[in-house]
Amino acid sequence: MSFAQNPMSRSFKANAGAALRDRTLQRAMGYLGFREKRLEAVARLPEFEALRDQAREIKNHTLAHLDFYLEAYEAKVLESGGQVHWCRTPDEARRAVLALCRSVGARTVTRGKTMIGEEIALNPFLEENGIQPVETDLGEYIIQLRSEPPSHIIAPAIHVTKEQVAETFLAKHAAYGKTRLLTEPREMLEEARGILRDKFLRADVGITGANFLVAETGSSIIVTNEGNGDLTQLLPKIHIVLATPEKLVPTLEDASTILRLLARSATGQEYSVYTTVSTGPRRAGDLDGPAQYHVVILDNGRTAMLGTEFQDMLRCIRCSACLNHCPVYNAVGGHAYGWVYPGPMGSVLTPSLIGVDQAGALPNASTFCGKCESVCPMKIPLPKMMRHWREREHEAKLSPVLARWGLKAWAFAARRPLLYRAMTRWAAAILGALGRRHGNLANLPLASGWTEFRDLPAPEGKTFHALWAERGR
Amino acid sequence: MPEPKTTAKPRVGLFVTCLVDLFRPSVGFAAVKLLEQAGCTVEAPAAQVCCGQPAYNSGDRADARAVARDIIDAFRGYDYIVAPSGSCAGMIREHYPLLFAGDAETEPRARDLAKRTYELVSFLVDVMKVASVPARFDGAVTYHDSCSGLRELGVKGQPRALLKTVQGLTLKELPGAEACCGFGGAFCVKYPEISNRMVADKIADAAKTGAGTLLAGDLGCLLNMAGKATREGAALDLRHVAEVLADMARDLPPIGKAKV
């Protein structure tokens, strides 16, 4: 199942309600652990705040000169013996990947973790074309077996409990002669590792994402904790890197600066276990490596964000700090968002990629608590951009008619203090009288959104301005 | 930080906030008392209604600007504008300049207003240098950091510093004090189920402290939390921090509770 083929963002509210009532999901989401670890990692690095400013400047500079750096990057890739494939749409990217797979008669393709792969629904497409994609990140492997999309951008199976993983393995690993219901995570890891080892050796093509593209050297960089990315890209004949233009940084030094923020912001590690830099295919004298190195760069609407109020979003390094700290994401999980990128970064990015008419609910589903912006290593003003989406929605009259009328009526009254005072005097008196006995109201017509779950505290009875006037102040 | 004027009493325009005006005027009077104790002259301009957040956060910039212009006019000439709310003060201080960015006539006036605008408790501590309050409150309290005050205005230590000077009061830190309570203006009625989950977590966290009273500096959050507490029958009183600091809690029932 792929959100890219079947967006569900329009039904965010219903999805969220179902997620809140899903006890298994709530148990799986119960403790994320990333927040405390991030806090500890940040406390251990005095220059963390200074690094955030540096990182923001690196990306701002790159985005301001993106054309220059993209060309410089391509020249370096060519120089190192690789190739760059420029793709405007998901369809172009899928076809570029398929053509490369077909060029070596690929039957099996291993995949390192990449959200771009989700964005272009690559796995279903490869399967339709007779090629078996195998996810090699353990979390991605689990959800591939379960035919589910990821629910988190770095912990894709965060919504799955240990018991569910055991059941899934029991059902899907019988074909490999594994028929015991496992109970320990360690055993599950070993079983998956044994099966994946064979897939690595058989793969004709390995596809990874990229955390960075480096213009200075034509390199791509990935970070992983399992080492699966290295096996994915080293063993097959062809290594395909799936990336997008905003992954670019000018130099290796710049990548190093941002790398110091990435894992700390994501999991609270100082560095991920593996940081792998790839530059071109295997050279004469290299002990291993792919014979061909290709980079597929997908735009899919990103460069159209340049010069708009959404440009800052292109600084995102997909660390997931905003998801991990978002009270809404933590309550409902990633699938409720109904598209590839969940959480605050998704609420800004998704409308850019699939349209605010499809994804308008997402930027509305925020209290603007600002926690996401406060933990973003790239200082992306996420709430501000969610508000900009609400503005686009309002301008296009996509928000509910009743809400727009309500706003108009409110604005009319709010601009007329005398009328407003008269209305609020009555409201305070009536609500105050109704609620006098208990101090609150359990039911109120037209306010079920409030009173379904909470009482409405009753007003004291007179407005401040009425009392202020009475007291002759 | 601007220094308090030594020659004359600072003239403060009280931004009452629409929620305090309608639901809990006592919070406004508590603010007046605290400001006067600190040596300010306080007025509450009659032309004020709302800071404009309902429109601004709904993407309706035109109405938000219209409402904000009235506020800019209403608060001309005051040394300071003080609100018993981090949310409304944050709107004026952080967002008015953005709302009028590029408007040659209004942007300078919005910036001028913004730099004179403060949240009540941080104004008392940071600007008026208030170090203690003559108040008494017998019991343990815990404190929720409302999001806008905390993250837009840096309100964190000020309310705790003053609460510690209240006689008889014990302050217990709230686990997850910086987590949103789920109010979020229209969010709580647009996404009631998610909001409910957030406020239920908040009430559960407050119960863990063993404090009988949960304080905060924003009435929106307080109405949300108080409404949840009474619905769940939690043994928890909700109050605006200004009520306690102004020594007015004795004569005023907690939010959402009847006079006894």
Contact B58 A407 (CB under 8 A): yes
Is the minimum CB–CB distance between A17 and chain B shorter than 8 Å? yes
Give the pLDDT score at A330.
96
Contact B151 A368 (CB under 8 A): no
Chain A residues close to B60, C-beta within 8 Å: 391, 394, 404, 407, 411
What's the residue count for chain B? 260
Give the pLDDT score at B3.
56
Contact A327 B231 (CB under 8 A): no
Residue of B nearest to A434 (CA): B258
b/e burial code for range B61-70 (CB count within 10 A of at least 16 → b): bebbbbbbbb
B 17-46: CB under 8 A from A: 18, 20-26, 28-29, 43-44, 46
Contact A391 B61 (CB under 8 A): yes
Contact B191 A13 (CB under 8 A): yes
B228, B147: one domain: yes
Q: Write the CB contacts of A59 (distance below 8 Å, at least 6 apart in sequence).
A: A246, A249, A258, A314, A315, A378
B121, B141: one domain: no
B106, B156: one domain: no
Tokens read off for B66 = 């219209």
Contact A457 B59 (CB under 8 A): no
Is the minimum CB–CB distance between A417 and chain B shorter than 8 Å? yes
B245, B138: one domain: yes
Chain B residues close to A456, C-beta within 8 Å: 223, 227
B111, B190: one domain: no
Which of A454, A456, A470, A473 to mutate against chain B (most B CBs within 10 Å)?
Answer: A454
> How close B163 gets to chain A, by Cα (Å)?
24
Domain assignment present for residue B260? The answer is: no
Contact B182 A454 (CB under 8 A): no
Dist. CA A442–CA B138, nearest whole Å: 30
Chain B residues close to A417, C-beta within 8 Å: 46-49
Domain assignment present for residue B34? The answer is: yes
B121, B140: one domain: no
Give the pLDDT score at A105.
97
Domain assignment present for residue B3? The answer is: no
Burial class (CB in 10 A: 0-12, 13-18, 19+), B78: buried
Q: Percent of chain B having pLDDT more than 70?
A: 97
Contact B223 A414 (CB under 8 A): no
What's the residue count for chain A? 473
Give the pLDDT score at A239.
98
B16, B122: one domain: yes
B192, B140: one domain: yes
Dist. CA A126–CA B194, nearest whole Å: 37
Work out how many domains chain B is built from and give that number.
2
Is the minimum CB–CB distance between A426 and chain B shorter than 8 Å? no
Is the minimum CB–CB distance between A11 and chain B shorter than 8 Å? no
Is the minimum CB–CB distance between A326 and chain B shorter than 8 Å? no
Average pLDDT of chain B to the nearest whole number: 96
B74, B89: one domain: yes
B 101-130: CB under 8 A from A: none
Which of B191, B243, B259 to mutate against chain A (most A CBs within 10 Å)?
Answer: B191
Answer with the one of B105, B126, B147 that is the final residue of a domain.
B126
B73, B174: one domain: no
Give the pLDDT score at B101.
96
Contact A462 B184 (CB under 8 A): no
Contact B189 A367 (CB under 8 A): no
> How close B227 gets to chain A, by Cα (Å)?
4
Q: What is the mean pLDDT of each run of 10 residues along chain A (473 residues)?
A: 92 97 92 89 97 98 98 98 98 98 97 96 97 96 97 96 96 94 94 94 96 98 94 94 98 98 97 96 94 98 97 98 97 98 98 96 97 98 98 92 89 93 94 92 86 95 96 84
For chain B, report the end-to-end CA distance as a whole number of angstroms.
43
Q: Are A206 and A212 in contact (CB under 8 A)?
A: no
Confidence of residue B2 (pLDDT cuts 50, 70, 90): low
CATH label of the domain that carries residue B95: 3.40.50
Domain assignment present for residue B1? The answer is: no
Confidence of residue B1 (pLDDT cuts 50, 70, 90): low
Domain assignment present for residue B87? The answer is: yes
CATH label of the domain that carries residue B217: 3.40.50.11810
B88, B149: one domain: no
**ipTM rounded to 2 decimals:** 0.96
B136, B245: one domain: yes
Q: Is the pLDDT of residue B63 over 70?
A: yes
Q: Is the pLDDT of residue B64 over 60?
A: yes
Domain assignment present for residue B5? The answer is: no
Q: What is the residue-wise DSSP string for B129-193?
A: -------EEEEEEEE---HIIIIIH--SHHHHHHHTTSEEEEEEPPTTTTS--S-TTTHHHHSHH
Domain assignment present for residue B100? The answer is: yes
Answer with the one of B126, B153, B182 that is the final residue of a domain.
B126
B 73-102: CB under 8 A from A: 98
How do residues B4-13 score in pLDDT, each as one tens digit? 555 689 999 9
Q: Is the pLDDT of residue B27 over 80?
A: yes
Domain assignment present for residue B83? The answer is: yes
Which of B60, B120, B155 to mutate against chain A (most A CBs within 10 Å)?
Answer: B60
Q: Write the CB contacts of B78 (distance below 8 Å, at least 6 apart in sequence).
A: B11, B12, B13, B43, B116
Report all structural domains of chain A as residue ranges with CATH numbers, in order of start.
34-300 (3.40.50.10420), 308-395 (1.10.1060.10), 414-470 (no CATH)
Domain holding B143, by residue range, is: 131-251
Chain B residues close to A387, C-beta within 8 Å: 56-57, 59
Answer with the one of B111, B126, B141 that is the final residue of a domain.
B126
Contact B58 A408 (CB under 8 A): no
Contact B192 A20 (CB under 8 A): no
